[in-house]
Structure 1
Amino acid sequence: MDCGDGDLARKCVGDLEKAFPKSIRVSRLRGMLLEMQGKFELAEEKYSILLERDPQNYRVMKRMCGLAKSRGNVPAAISACIAYLKVNAVDKEAWEELADLYLSQGMCKQAAYCMEEILLLDPFVGASHRKYADILYTLGGNENLATALKYYSSAIKFSNGKDLRAMYGVCLCYANLASSKAFVKKAEDDELHRLSVDLILKTYQARNTNGKYEIVKAVLS
C-alpha cells in the first residue's frame, strides 16, 4: 500500500484474511486497502465493526481520525483524534495533528492546549516552542504575549540562533508589549529584543538579499 501497488496489496490482504480470518489487525489492513481505493464509507464501516469488537484498539481509532480528515470532515476528525488520545495520550504526532485540526477551525485556545501537551512530551524541539508562541501571539493580550516572548526565546536557543521566524516573533511581541501602558518591561526583555534584531540583521547581511537588508534595518530601527 505504501508503494501504491493496489493489485499486490489486494492479493496480500486476501491471503492474510484466508490465513487469519478473525484477526483484527488483518481487518484493519482491509480497511486501509478500502481507503486506498477511495471506498471511504466501506472503510468506516469496517473500522466501526472492529471498534465494537475492541473499543480500546488505538490503531483503529487512529485510522478513524485519518479517514475523517481524508473525507474533509474536520469536526469528526477532531472527535476521533480526541477519542484516540484518551487511549494513547503519549502520541506526540496525534497531539500535533489535533493542534493543526483546531487551528484549521480557528480554535486557538484548544490548539494551545495541544501544544502544551506536546512540549511536555518533547520539550527540546525548537519548532514546537515557536508554534506555541505563534498561537499565543495570535490569541493576544499582555499575558499571552509575555509568555510567547519566552517561548520565542527558547526557540531561538534551540536553533542556535538560526530561527529567523522566532526572532521576528520576539520583535512583534516586544513592540506590542512596549505599546501597552499596563506592561512593565524587564531588562531581559530589552536584551532579548536587541539580540533578536542583531541576529536578524546579521542574517540578512550575510546573504545576498538584493537590498532587503536596508529595508529590514529601517523597519526594525
Structure 2
Amino acid sequence: MSSSLLHPPSHLPPATALKHSKQAPSILANSPGAIATSTLQSLLSASETAELWTTYENLLLSCLRTGDDESAHQCLGRLVNRFGDDNERIMALKGLLKEANAGDDNATLDVILKEYDQILQENPTNLPISKRRIALLRSRGQIADSVTALISLLDASPTDAEAWSELADMYFSQGLYSQAIFALEEVLVLQPNAWNIHARLGEMLFTAAKTSDTSKQLAEALKRFCRSIELCDNYLRGYYGLKLIAKQLLNEPQKATKQAESGEFSLPDSATLRKLDEAATEKLAEIVRRYSAAEKGWQGYDQAEIAAAQQVLQNETEATVR
C-alpha cells in the first residue's frame, strides 16, 4: 500500500491522487470491510490500526478529486461502520460526499447548507461541520458570509491555525492586505517554524508593498523570505520570493534609502542584496536542474512553481546577455 495514502490528499499532486483512485478497487478488496465497534473486540482484531482508517479517509478524498464516487462511498461506509454516524469527523465527510454528488445543483447545495445549519444549531461546537459550511459558502462565492462564519469560529477556537490561514487567504483574495497579513501573523504565533507560512506572509507583504509603495513592507517581506529558507533549505517559494524582492530593491535603490531615513527598518546594503540575489539564483537553478533530471528526493515540487522558477532564471540570463 502506498505510503502517500497516509498524507493529507489535498497536498498530493493530481497524478498521485489519480493513481490512488485507480488503486481504490484493489485496496478496498484486500482491506477489512467491517470491524466491530466494540472497543474490546477492536483491540483484539489484528487488522485494527490507525493507518487503516487514515488510508480509508485519504482514499475517499482522492476518489472524490477524480470522480470515483463508488469507491468514495465504500470508504465512507467502512468509516461509518467503525465510528458511527454521530462522529463529528464522519459527519463532515458525509457532507463532503453530498457536496461532491450535488455538483453545481444549487437547490441541492441549499439543502446541504440547511443541514449544516441544523447540525450547528444542535451543537455549535462541531468544528468539522463549521469548516465544511464555511468551505461551501466560499465555493458558492458567498465570501462575506464565509468570512463572518470564520470569525465566529475563531472566537470559539482562537488557536485554530488552519482557520486563521483560511481567513488570511479570503482577505487576500479581496485585496484586504492588512487584514490578511494580520491573520497570517496569527498563524505564525501558533506555528512559528512553519517555513511555508513565512514565505506566504512574505508574498502578501510584497504584494501589499506594490499597491501602497511602503518600504517597511518590503523590508518585512525580505525578512520573511530569509526566515523561510533558513527553516527549509530547499523551499522553492522562499528562494523565488527572495529573488524577486532582492532584484527589485537592487533596481530601485531609492526605496532602501527612503526607508533608512525613516529609522523604522534598516534594509541590507547593495552588496548584501546582491549576495542574496546570487544565492537565490544559484539555489533556484539547482532545484530546477535536479527536478528536471528526476533525481531521487527532488520530485516533490509543484510543476507550476518549477515553471515559474525556470522563467525567472531565463529572464535573468537574457538580461545578462543584453
TM-score band, normalised by the shorter chain?
0.7 to 0.9
Instruction: Give the Cα separation in 2 of the matches to 1:29 and 1:149.
Output: 40
Q: Does the Cα contact within 8 Å between 1:124 and 1:158 map onto a contact in 2?
A: yes
Q: Give per-residue Cα distances to partners, 1:124-171, cap 9 Å, x unaligned.
A: 233221221221222221222222222122123234276233222233
Q: Does the Cα contact within 8 Å between 1:51 and 1:60 map onto a contact in 2?
A: yes
Residue segments in structure 2 that go unaligned for 5+ positions in a row: 1-59, 103-107, 290-309
Q: Give per-residue Cα distances to partners, 1:2-50, cap 9 Å, x unaligned.
A: 334646739967xx69x978x3746555533432321211111111111
Moved more, 103-112 or 65-74: 65-74
TM-score by length of 2: 0.55
Instruction: Give the Cα separation in 2 of the matches to 1:164 and 1:97.
Output: 23
Of all paired residues, the percent bearing the same amino acid is 23
TM-score by length of 1: 0.77
In the alignment, residue 164 of structure 2 is paired with which amino acid? W
Which residue does the alignment assign to 2:51? none
In the alignment, residue 147 of structure 1 is paired with which amino acid? E
1:57 correspondence with 2:142: no
Which residue does the alignment assign to 2:246? 170
Choose from 219, 238, 253 the match for 1:146.
Answer: 219
Instruction: Assess, with a 3 A threshold, how the Cα gap between structure 1 residues 127 and 56 changes in structure 2: closer, same or farther.
Output: same
Matches within 5 A, 1:42-53: 42-53=111-122
State the shift of 1:200 in Å: 4.0
Which residue does the alignment assign to 1:214? 317
In the alignment, residue 282 of structure 2 is paired with which amino acid? K
Q: Does the Cα contact within 8 Å between 1:177 and 1:183 map onto a contact in 2?
A: no
Which residue does the alignment assign to 2:178? 109
Which residue does the alignment assign to 1:121? 190
State the shift of 1:108 in Å: 0.9
Instruction: Assess, with a 3 A threshold, how the Cα gap between structure 1 residues 191 and 81 changes in structure 2: closer, same or farther.
Output: farther
Q: Does the Cα contact within 8 Å between 2:167 and 2:183 map onto a contact in 1?
A: yes
Residue segments in structure 1 that go unaligned for 5+ positions in a row: none
Instruction: Assess, with a 3 A threshold, how the Cα gap between structure 1 residues 189 and 150 changes in structure 2: closer, same or farther.
Output: farther
1:193 correspondence with 2:273: yes
State the shift of 1:182 in Å: 3.0
In the alignment, residue 42 of structure 1 is paired with which amino acid? V
Q: Does the Cα contact within 8 Å between 2:76 and 2:94 map onto a contact in 1?
A: no
How large is the Cα RMSD of the aligned pairs?
Answer: 3.6
Instruction: Give the Cα separation in 2 of the matches to 1:200 and 1:216.
Output: 16
Choose from 156, 165, 169 the match for 2:229.
Answer: 156
Secondary structure, counterpart of 2:117 in structure 1: helix
Instruction: Give the Cα separation in 1 of the matches to 2:267 and 2:179.
Output: 32
Instruction: Give the Cα separation in 2 of the matches to 1:34 and 1:202.
Output: 48
Instruction: Give the Cα separation in 1 of the matches to 2:315 and 2:233.
Output: 23
